[in-house]
Amino acid sequence: MTVIVRDVRPGSTEDAEGFARVRRAALPFMLTTGPQLAHDWAHAHPDAHARPLVAEADGEIVGSAEVALAHESPEPGDGLVNIHVHPEHTGRGAGTLLLRTAEEHLARAGARRIYSWVLDDRPSRAFAERHGYQGRRSAYFLRLDLATAELPPLQDLPDGVELRTAADFAADPRPLFELDALTTADEPGDVAADLTDYAHWLATTWRHPLQAHELTMVALADGRPVAFSAALTDGLGRYVTGMTGTAPGFRGRGLAKLVKNASLHRARAAGCTEALTGNDAANAPMLAVNRWFGYEISAQEVRHVRTLG
């Protein structure tokens, strides 16, 4: 007998492992751990009105939702919802109940539009459309078998450029924050992000439990950071490029390839065997860089949006 899911509640630190288990099963293209989620929830910005939700059946977490306002967006009223249901428990009402609860929470917090990433498969898109969401832009999940890939040889540094790791900025990471803010500002997307809160960035990015400072590579020109490739690891051999960015005045010089190549070599030397990353479909330059390294598309997702009436 199929048990209909009727219990959705806010998630707590004790739910982090169950939440992570669901998301790994539904979205195996990303790193997700219980400690990571507990850290994210503990350091959520108050303006985000963030609320993790879990759906239970027979005492087991079978669905999860990430719910927040896009507090870094200069455009007020943007809400974010990402729903994941364990593949063994779909069709039992968990997704619908999670979405309804999330929308009610965001409406009370002042959201006027809700954005959601949806896997580009027929059941997922049909679910989104049934609930009034319309597809917008696409993004890719990419994978590289780091154990067997033929990485390009390490490149010679251009004149005036030096390479460092993020660990070299441990005493003062603010220059990396400033570069991250600069490159994030013009990253393709339908929800803009304006990074201005250094203290929040320290807590949620610099001190994130998956951050791998020794594998994060930074290119400097005239002594200041101008390109970087941020690395995350789960300690189990999986490595993710969280962000690769170049300052506007230094693009077109191959610096993105330079820092990412150095990071990949370091990751392999550190024992990582699988490299994952994501690309907005409109970000042709970075997509070309990843294909140059041998990354292959493993899945696609589509950003959907619904305007609240």
Give the tens place of pLDDT for each residue, 197-249. 999 999 999 999 999 999 999 999 989 999 999 999 998 899 999 889 999 99
Domains of the chain: 7-111 (3.40.630.30), 144-299 (3.40.630.30)
Q: How far is CA 25 from CA 9, 94, 206, 242, 299, in A?
A: 20, 15, 27, 20, 14
Q: What percent of the chain has pLDDT over 90?
A: 86
pLDDT confidence bin for 185, thresholds 50/70/90: confident
Give the tens place of pLDDT for each residue, 94-115. 999 999 999 999 999 999 999 9
Nearest to 293 by CA among 259, 269, 245, 270: 259
